[in-house]
A and B are shown apart, each in its own frame.
Chain A
Amino acid sequence: MRIAGRRPDFWTVVTGVVLLVLAILLLIPILRVMLLSFVDADTGNWTLGNYVEVFTRNFYLRGLKNTLFVGVLGTIGACLVGIPLAFFTARFHLWGRVWISTLAILVLVAPPFIGAYAWIMMLGSNGFITNFFERFGIETPTIYGAHGIILVFTLKFFPFVFLMTQTALMAVNKSFEDAAENLGCTPWQRFTKITLPLVFPAISTGAIICFVLSIADFGTPAILGRGFRTLSTIAFAAYRSELGGLPTIAVTVSMIMIAISMLALVVQRRILARRRYASSLTNLPVKKRLAGWKNVAVHVFCHGAVLIAMLPNLVVVYTSFLKTNGPVFVGGFGLESYERMWRQAPMAVGNSFLFALSAVALITIFSALISYVIVRRETKASGSIDFLMMVPYLVPGVVMAIGFVTTFRTGVFGGIGAAWLLILLYFIRRLPYGVRSTTSSLRQVKPSMEEAAINLGAPPLSAFLKVTVPLILPGLIVGSLMSFITAINELSGTLIIYDSGTLTMPVSIYLAVLDGEFGLAAALSTVLLLCTGVCVYAVFRFSENRDSAFL
């Protein structure tokens, strides 16, 4: 019998490797962005000048104001649609409830920038709704500018509020509401005084996600802004104009975006810390049957909301089958757009799949390992990995990509090509989706399973592969599908990194939209939507709770 001695065990090594990877791909780029924001672009000396510039020039201040404006109003809009929708579906018998939540989920995972340009096709200066009303001499409001962005944010992000609030509402012990009623509350008082406060933590979580996502969103203001600039378009433009030199202004703006997201998160943590309502589910809520005009109104609202939100995606699919001649729609149906896609953008389609699948392969391996470290090892290191998994949510794509470029295009890492940078960018940005899903799966596996395998003579890795992995497979698959959807739809970070050989579908769509090539954009978007739809279907198949798998 050989004595093994005190060499570090397998999971200690894994923890070390994971920390190293996270340090290189996550911490260093963010630190690099932070440091660069204190550097003078011309002299290379330390300075506060960049912040002084950003906080004194009207251009940037307006950008900050605009960002907060559309972020806050978009979030409020999302709540105004999402909360009633959640309440209606959770408390009333609705015809087509599954349909409603399926549409909401599709809206949630559809590529974010499609919404913006589809609305241009409907309500833009040459949009078909605009043209339709013009025939009767009616002028429709323009979609460009702040209100267009807020409309798109509202319709794009309300599913977060909807799904989270719905889950919470389903878990509210009915006894609380019964007690309130028994104490003399009218239904409305009962809703505002009891139910709403009880689900407030869920609402606030959904709202914070909306807010953070709208701050980070690049595609929507870039496509709909027309002179209305937000921090992400400013950071992108600054990066483009500083190419060749140090992108100090771009990173300074980026730092402000990170700061806003972190602030939002801190606020939400403070709110949640003081409200924790444990509730035993002895008395499940019941659904009421509505009648008469109320019933009609509720149905119209619920189906209307998800249909309008889905509209951009339908329009895009429809448009892709319109007959075109070059960029012009010539009436009737045809497959010219797909033909052009085949001729002009085969590389983009190939790249998108190659990069996303490579990233997802890495994500699958790492989320399995990371979730084990987080769930099974109670060390400081595993605690910090758990914490680090939140960071990618808070760092906008533009910012992360600028960090990547400034870190990995210089010095030791100089030789890394754009393709690898993109794969690693998708990997680090979408890793948390995989880890979250796998972690919740692993929490349901008893530790004694692995211990039994080890006790029977399986070394840690072998016990993990033969026992743990098969048991967490559903969670691992769902996580990988989620990260695939979000990786193949990535636009903002890709725009910073891509070069002529690494075009992806979202970038091609963005460029086509800027060129007015709506047919080509629609064909590419349809392909993306199709992938997304297939993945959503697969997630439904593999997850126990279909609605919450997407949050």
Chain B
Amino acid sequence: MASVDIIGIRKLYGDVVALSDINISIASGAFYTLLGPSGCGKTTLLRTIAGFHEQNAGTIAVDGKAIEGLPAYRRDVGMVFQDYAIFPHISVRDNVAFGLKQRKIPRAEMEQRVAEVLDVVQLGQFADRMPHELSGGQQQRVGLARAIVIRPKVLLMDEPLSNLDARLRVDLRAELRRIQQELGITTIYVTHDQEEALAMSDTVCVMHQGVIQQAANPLDIYLHPANRFVATFVGANNFLAVTRQGDGLYLASAGGVVANGGLAADGRPLVCGVRPEVVRVVPGSVPPGDEEVAIPASLASVSFIGREMEVLVRTEADEVVKSFARPDPAVIALQPGSAVTLLVHRSDLAFFEDSETGRRAT
């Protein structure tokens, strides 16, 4: 158990900036997830912490002690690899014992610890099998057991579930979280699956092009995205053009002020973000209720996918807006081209500066 502080890490591959000025602080025992699209630098950051390559600038401290002077084999950070990296030439037991042997743990203690950890990952009866006699999910557990048996200060996991099928992924993710909490081990977890990140983490850190976009608890990430990139990457989002008249903000596609005061006062170009699940679609032309905005639109398509319906509409400003809602027979019966009204609660609108990573405006 240890806290981790990452200060000002920068990593270049030739001219490519893989990480720029990464600052992270992780509390002891926390489950910290790095989330981001492919190529955003998640693996690079993890490998920098593990010591597989050197950063160009910055320090990494575990429990307040800088570790960048230590070679990878003395860092005491356990790692679970995306491809498991189970040694194919030795048994499950020997795989798990590998790190203990390196640490010259006495034989009796070693056997006991291996047996214990194999029980934790529910592989007790597989101890004498060779790795090729295990399924993917079982190999994944061996990888985990091998990393935690050495009781590392920090546990690193690089997309440990990405090679498994969907069902198993959901099962294992709950189990990973359970084991992590039982052991109370500080964990840094990499994924590009947002559902996984939201479901497992204490803190989610969204990265993009080597830069941290936002680090917060899952609920905040979802409900209060710090910028337009986070709002787009985590969950789905619609973006509507915004116009400004006097000291009021208006949607390009609807009448009525949507915001005024401070937000409208400075001259930054803004866009309005609306989550699909807060957009209500009703047939015909309907006046807005209190605190509601009504956007007239025409229906583009409706697909009924069981639990919900997915509706695509086109606004008068020619924006395509998506809505997820409870299946409504009246809407499903509509022909494409029919007039509909979108109803959105004013408090569900979020405003961002108009660029890929534009900040949230309040």
Q: CB of A9 within 8 A of chain B?
A: yes
Say yes or no: A456 contacts B146, CB within 8 Å. Answer: yes
Q: CB of B274 within 8 A of chain A?
A: no
CB contact under 8 A between A457 and B99, given known A448-B83, A451-B81: yes
- By a CB distance below 8 angstroms, the chain A residues around B82 are 448
Say yes or no: B85 contacts A451, CB within 8 Å. Answer: yes
Chain B 71-104 near chain A by CB (<8 Å), digits 1 or 0: 1111111110111010111000000001100110
Chain A residue with the shortest CB-CB distance to B146: A456
Q: How far is the CA of A3 from the CA of B65 in the complex (A)?
A: 10
- By a CB distance below 8 angstroms, the chain A residues around B65 are 1
- By a CB distance below 8 angstroms, the chain A residues around B102 are 456-458, 462
Q: How far is the CA of A457 from the CA of B150 in the complex (A)?
A: 9
CB contact under 8 A between A4 and B81, given known A456-B102, A457-B150: no
Q: CB of A5 within 8 A of chain B?
A: yes
Within 8 A of B (CB), among A421-475: 446, 448-449, 451-460, 462-463, 466-467, 470-471
Say yes or no: B150 contacts A456, CB within 8 Å. Answer: yes
Q: How far is the CA of A448 from the CA of B89 in the complex (A)?
A: 15
- By a CB distance below 8 angstroms, the chain B residues around A463 are 73
Q: CB of B2 within 8 A of chain A?
A: no
Q: How far is the CA of A492 from the CA of B187 in the complex (A)?
A: 63
Say yes or no: B85 contacts A470, CB within 8 Å. Answer: no
Say yes or no: A9 contacts B71, CB within 8 Å. Answer: yes
Say yes or no: B87 contacts A449, CB within 8 Å. Answer: yes
Chain A residue with the shortest CB-CB distance to B76: A457
Give the total of A residues in contact with B, Cβ under 8 Å. 25
Say yes or no: B70 contacts A449, CB within 8 Å. Answer: no
Say yes or no: B81 contacts A452, CB within 8 Å. Answer: yes
Q: How far is the CA of A460 from the CA of B72 in the complex (A)?
A: 9
Q: How far is the CA of A1 from the CA of B2 in the complex (A)?
A: 15
Most chain A beta-carbon neighbours within 10 Å: one of B75, B85, B88, B99: B85
- By a CB distance below 8 angstroms, the chain B residues around A454 are 52, 72-73
Q: CB of B284 within 8 A of chain A?
A: no
Q: How far is the CA of A448 from the CA of B72 in the complex (A)?
A: 13
Q: CB of B337 within 8 A of chain A?
A: no
Q: How far is the CA of A210 from the CA of B155 in the complex (A)?
A: 56
Say yes or no: A457 contacts B74, CB within 8 Å. Answer: yes
Shortest Cβ gap from A467 to chain B (Å): 6
Q: How far is the CA of A470 from the CA of B102 in the complex (A)?
A: 17
- By a CB distance below 8 angstroms, the chain B residues around A470 are 89
In the complex, the number of residue pairs spanning A and B with C-beta atoms less than 8 Å apart equals 73
- By a CB distance below 8 angstroms, the chain B residues around A456 are 73, 78, 98-99, 102, 146-147, 150
- By a CB distance below 8 angstroms, the chain B residues around A6 are 69
Say yes or no: A4 contacts B71, CB within 8 Å. Answer: yes
Say yes or no: A3 contacts B150, CB within 8 Å. Answer: no
- By a CB distance below 8 angstroms, the chain A residues around B99 are 456-457
Chain B 1-45 near chain A by CB (<8 Å), digits 1 or 0: 000000000000000000000000000000000000000000000
Q: How far is the CA of A470 from the CA of B103 in the complex (A)?
A: 21
Chain B residue with the shortest CB-CB distance to A3: B69
Q: How far is the CA of A156 from the CA of B147 in the complex (A)?
A: 55
Chain A contact surface mostly: helix
Q: CB of B50 within 8 A of chain A?
A: yes
Say yes or no: B89 contacts A458, CB within 8 Å. Answer: no
- By a CB distance below 8 angstroms, the chain A residues around B76 are 457
Q: How far is the CA of A306 from the CA of B81 in the complex (A)?
A: 50
Shortest Cβ gap from A200 to chain B (Å): 36
- By a CB distance below 8 angstroms, the chain B residues around A449 are 85, 87
Within 8 A of A (CB), among B102-152: 102-103, 146-147, 150
Say yes or no: B70 contacts A4, CB within 8 Å. Answer: yes
CB contact under 8 A between A448 and B85, given known A455-B78, A457-B103: yes
Q: How far is the CA of A466 from the CA of B88 in the complex (A)?
A: 12
- By a CB distance below 8 angstroms, the chain B residues around A467 are 87, 89
- By a CB distance below 8 angstroms, the chain A residues around B79 are 451-452, 455
Chain B residue with the shortest CB-CB distance to A460: B73
- By a CB distance below 8 angstroms, the chain B residues around A471 are 88-89
Q: How far is the CA of A454 from the CA of B99 in the complex (A)?
A: 9
Chain B residue with the shortest CB-CB distance to A457: B102
Shortest Cβ gap from B162 to chain A (Å): 14
- By a CB distance below 8 angstroms, the chain B residues around A4 are 69-71, 74
Chain A residue with the shortest CB-CB distance to B79: A455
Say yes or no: B98 contacts A446, CB within 8 Å. Answer: no
Q: How far is the CA of A84 from the CA of B79 in the complex (A)?
A: 54
Chain A residue with the shortest CB-CB distance to B96: A456
Q: How far is the CA of A9 from the CA of B72 in the complex (A)?
A: 11
Q: How far is the CA of A467 from the CA of B65 in the complex (A)?
A: 31
Chain A 463-501 near chain B by CB (<8 Å), digits 1 or 0: 100110011000000000000000000000000000000
- By a CB distance below 8 angstroms, the chain A residues around B146 are 452, 456
Chain A residue with the shortest CB-CB distance to B90: A470
Within 8 A of B (CB), among A1-37: 1, 3-6, 9
Say yes or no: B72 contacts A453, CB within 8 Å. Answer: no
Shortest Cβ gap from A483 to chain B (Å): 24
- By a CB distance below 8 angstroms, the chain A residues around B85 are 446, 448-449, 451-452
Within 8 A of A (CB), among B219-273: none
Shortest Cβ gap from A452 to chain B (Å): 4
Shortest Cβ gap from B260 to chain A (Å): 56
Most chain B beta-carbon neighbours within 10 Å: one of A460, A462, A467: A467
Q: How far is the CA of A454 from the CA of B102 in the complex (A)?
A: 10
Say yes or no: A448 contacts B150, CB within 8 Å. Answer: no
Chain A 80-120 near chain B by CB (<8 Å), digits 1 or 0: 00000000000000000000000000000000000000000
- By a CB distance below 8 angstroms, the chain B residues around A452 are 79, 81, 85, 87, 146
Q: How far is the CA of A455 from the CA of B47 in the complex (A)?
A: 10
Shortest Cβ gap from B13 to chain A (Å): 11
- By a CB distance below 8 angstroms, the chain A residues around B72 are 451, 454-455
Q: How far is the CA of A449 from the CA of B82 in the complex (A)?
A: 11
Shortest Cβ gap from B361 to chain A (Å): 44
CB contact under 8 A between A458 and B73, given known A1-B65, A471-B89: yes
Say yes or no: B69 contacts A5, CB within 8 Å. Answer: yes
Q: How far is the CA of A523 from the CA of B14 in the complex (A)?
A: 61
Say yes or no: A459 contacts B70, CB within 8 Å. Answer: no
Chain B residue with the shortest CB-CB distance to A463: B73
Say yes or no: B87 contacts A453, CB within 8 Å. Answer: yes
Shortest Cβ gap from B56 to chain A (Å): 14
Q: How far is the CA of A458 from the CA of B98 in the complex (A)?
A: 9
- By a CB distance below 8 angstroms, the chain A residues around B78 are 455-456
Q: How far is the CA of A460 from the CA of B88 in the complex (A)?
A: 19
Q: How far is the CA of A442 from the CA of B186 in the complex (A)?
A: 34
Say yes or no: A453 contacts B98, CB within 8 Å. Answer: yes
Q: How far is the CA of A9 from the CA of B52 in the complex (A)?
A: 12
Q: How far is the CA of A452 from the CA of B147 in the complex (A)?
A: 9
Per CB-CB distance, the 3 closest pairs between chain A and chain B, nearest first, are A456-B99, A457-B102, A448-B85
Q: Which residues of B contact A (CB under 8 A)?
A: 50, 52, 65, 69-79, 81-83, 85, 87-89, 98-99, 102-103, 146-147, 150
Name 11 extra pairs, CB < 8 A, besides A453-B98, A462-B102, A470-B89: A4-B70, A9-B71, A448-B81, A454-B52, A454-B72, A454-B73, A455-B50, A455-B73, A455-B79, A457-B99, A459-B71
13 contacts between A and B (CB under 8 A): A3-B69, A4-B71, A4-B74, A9-B71, A446-B85, A451-B79, A451-B81, A452-B85, A455-B72, A455-B77, A455-B147, A458-B73, A458-B102
